[in-house]
A and B are shown apart, each in its own frame.
Chain A
Amino acid sequence: MSEAFEPVIIGFTCNWCSYRAADLAGTARVKYPPNVRLIRLMCSGRLDPTFVLKALAQGADGVLITGCHPGECHYIEQNYKALRRYLLLRRTLTQMGIEPGRVKLVWASAAEGVKLAKEITTLVEEIRALGPLNWPGRVKLATGENGTAVSQHTQSIPEEVTA
């Protein structure tokens, strides 16, 4: 394949900060690669980890989760709940055969259009370096001895899981 790999990334944004940062990046004409498609939530706390799995399952190569900076949540503290879920999700993803680096959490206030654009640019490069997700290629569903299905990783996962 000579064509460069263009990753597809789904991004989740908070209505109060990062979605507005995206608006601001637009108004200020800050450029970033077109690989990320943003979905608006009311709060990063709304992010059900299922959404991330759904995106990856449907063919996304990476997922960006964004929210207000710690201490700046529009709903007082719900971004901390997003943080907790994110840390757990990274572990789960590893167990499912996915590099945790494919999912990234970024804090971006409504004023940080430039920062958001920069983070998106970085993430696109990181996912490009990781290559296509190709999830089925790395998880082989097999039947265990007692009849239950077990998944076996066909690829090794880099040891970069956060504690």
Chain B
Amino acid sequence: MSQDQPHNKERVGVYVCHCGTNISAMVDVEDVAVWAKDSLSDDGVVVARDYKFMCSSLGQELIERDIEREGLTRVVVAACSPHLHETTFREACNRAGLNGYLCEMVSIREQVSWVHTDKVAATAKAKAMIAGGVERVIENEPLEPLRVPIHPATLVVGGGIAGIQAALEIADSGNKVYLVEREPSIGGHMAQFDKTFPTMDCAACILTPKMVSAGTHPNIELLTWSEVERVDGFVGNFTVTIKKKPRYVIEDLCTGCGICWEKCPKHVIDDVFEAGLGYRAAVYTPFAQAVPKYPVIDTENCIYFQRGKCRACEKFCPTEAIDFSQKEKYITVTVGNIILATGYDLFDARRVIQYGYGRLANVFTSIEFERMCNAAGPTNGEIVLRDGVTTPKTVGIIHCVGSRDRNYNNYCSVICCMSSLKFAHLVKERTDATVYNFYIDMRTAYKDYDEFYQRVLEEGTLFVRGRVAEVTDAARGPGEEGKIIIQAEDTLIGKQRRIPVDMVILASGLEPRKDAKEVAQKFGISCSANGWYIEKHPKLDPVATMTEGIFIAGAAQGPKDIPSSVAQGAAAAGRVLNRIGQGEIELEPVRATVDAQKCSGCRICNDLCPFGAIIFHEDMMVSEVKHALCQGCGTCVAACPAGAISGTGFSNEQILAQIEGMLMFDQPAHRVDLAEMAMA
């Protein structure tokens, strides 16, 4: 077609995206396109265009048309990060009959226009990166995605409301679910609550039927008092080792009658479920509606385990279900996908010393108050002071404890405004107390939440806008004697106020689980700087992770209320079911391959592979990469002294060409021929 023959045979099209003004405001995109056509024509560029939105259907059609009419054999799209639109443009190429892997993306938005401030320098960098992309794409090879079968079973980690919802959705579709829970019962935080905002329906009434369904579902294997120990394999075929802690109760014999915990002579403070307000026996289920109904023996407090005597539970058990000789068991399951719904920890209110929790008796945390309100809780639903009898006459509720505070967590914990309003409503409903809410901003987004706020306002709860400075029992006058005084600036009237109250409730924020990082590592996903699991895309893919086959749901991904957790649990289940329905998944064909002709049999690569994917053939004295096990990291490719291992998608040729391309338009003081140096 053209008279000037480019030195390589490929016909490359370069497409520069404006991304509205996201790129074009900082990169002269028209200039870049003109430059690419002129300066890279020797390198095979035959078409270069700029377009407002390359990812739009019109933008994609532009590429498709050029592939057909101009006979393009390679495509470079300079736009956003490949993590966003690589698939989009590969599919566009495929539609036009060009193998999608012959398309390369250059990130001139995330790596150029959004991070630089000098338009000339940004434009120059964009050009250099596009030159790198062009040189690289010429070395690309047509590839076919790997197809991996999906095992139909799913592992759900965490038996809170998000995990339960996910497990039920999948199980109802007829697929097997393993639901692993660390505590003796499923239910999570929601099981501790009394009422749920904004409808004030009782948490147990809506949760326990779901717990029972999960416990009795033929497709759900409930593994409570268990933890995931190890995860091997990859999407479609994970092998998961689960540690079952000994219950010291034979589940097949136990009827859950409760005689053991009635007879157990040892009573300890229940720090977990009752938040330290109530007691439980050494053999216990966390609460009456626990699923499963089987108790566990807490060996740290059991008299028999500590002193070798007692065995009261064993003596009284009518079905001889107590077995002190149980040991922890490890079971291995195979699953195709994993959903992590591991929830949150509550911020430890002791850390805010000036609020007096742990020092002033009548300062309560939100979870203590939840338990206190619960009809099945330690006070049978009575709102009383720490003495267990006195009804408070004034109650102060402090929002944002540990949230929106640079000393602790910068983020908003989402649920505390609404749960504080719920507390105010409950106090008003059950006592005659005056209630003060101390807030920074009132955050009542979502359906019916602001209406609830209006309702609480009308009920007469008083609101003070300002962060509380101190909670103290040091009285300054007769009106403050014997009271707890909340000192805060009321920013609406611009005055310091001291409000004496009988009871303070601290609305503690949500924090990632203490071991969130450890768990993330175990499953091969990432945590944000705060410790929340990172989703694949904050808006468009909130329940997937960057690791194929691992999904997240509920508060483990970030602070969340019950409706959102349920929605995410169902969403994650939907994603998994989509996979199971397809039966297989396409994976990036990034794998290493040994050229047996070049392999010297040195075996350097053998020990480098953490997946055991490289085997050595003694008879032929060559190594081989097993593609089924190879994960495509490329460490062996980099290590092979003979250059006998190639890595598809990231070959030496591709990367070296990209380096060369990125630097070829600079005017450096030097350029060295490495081959010449090697000879020297």
Contacts and interface: CB of A to CB of B under 8 A. Distances in A.
Interface of A: 6, 8, 10, 16-17, 19-20, 22-23, 25-27, 29-34, 37-43, 45-51, 53-61, 71-72, 74-78, 81, 85, 96, 109-112, 117, 132-137, 139, 141, 149-151
A151 B524 contact: no
A114 B662 CA distance: 25
30 contacts: A10-B659, A16-B526, A23-B110, A26-B110, A26-B115, A29-B115, A30-B115, A31-B117, A34-B118, A38-B107, A42-B634, A43-B633, A45-B633, A45-B635, A48-B655, A50-B674, A57-B671, A58-B659, A58-B671, A58-B672, A60-B659, A72-B526, A75-B610, A78-B610, A85-B638, A96-B677, A110-B526, A111-B528, A150-B680, A151-B677
Interface in B56-94: 81-83
B129 interface: yes
Contacts of B111: 22, 26, 38
A48 B115 CA distance: 28
Interface residue range, chain B: 35 or more
B602 interface: no
B380 interface: no
Interface stretch (B120-128, B142-150, B359-367, B435-443): B120-128
B633 A71 contact: no
Interface of B: 81-83, 107, 109-112, 114-118, 121-122, 124-125, 128-129, 132, 521, 524, 526-529, 534, 546-547, 590, 608, 610-611, 631-635, 637-639, 647, 649-650, 652, 655-656, 658-660, 662-664, 666, 668-674, 677, 679-680
A46 B671 contact: no
B635 A27 contact: no
B346 to A, nearest CB: 23
Given A46-B634, A75-B631, A75-B635, A37 B647 contact: no
A75 B662 contact: no
Q: Which of A39, A134, A137 has the most CB of B within 10 A?
A: A39
Contact of A149 (B121, B122, B129, B680): B680
Given A10-B663, A45-B638, A81 B680 contact: no
Given A8-B666, A78-B610, A111-B529, A58 B660 contact: yes
A56 B666 CA distance: 13
Contacts of B590: 42
B674 A57 contact: yes
B534 A111 contact: yes
A139 B117 CA distance: 37
Nearest to B81: A23
B114 A8 contact: no
Given A17-B526, A40-B82, A32 B633 contact: no
A16 B546 contact: yes
Contact of A111 (B521, B527, B637, B674): B527
Given A31-B117, A34-B121, A96-B677, 18 more contacts: A8-B668, A27-B110, A31-B116, A34-B112, A34-B116, A37-B128, A41-B634, A42-B650, A45-B633, A47-B638, A53-B674, A55-B663, A61-B668, A72-B521, A111-B529, A133-B670, A135-B672, A141-B680
A47 B529 CA distance: 26
A133 B110 contact: no
Nearest to B126: A34
Contacts of B652: 48, 50
Given A39-B655, A117-B115, A136 B109 contact: no
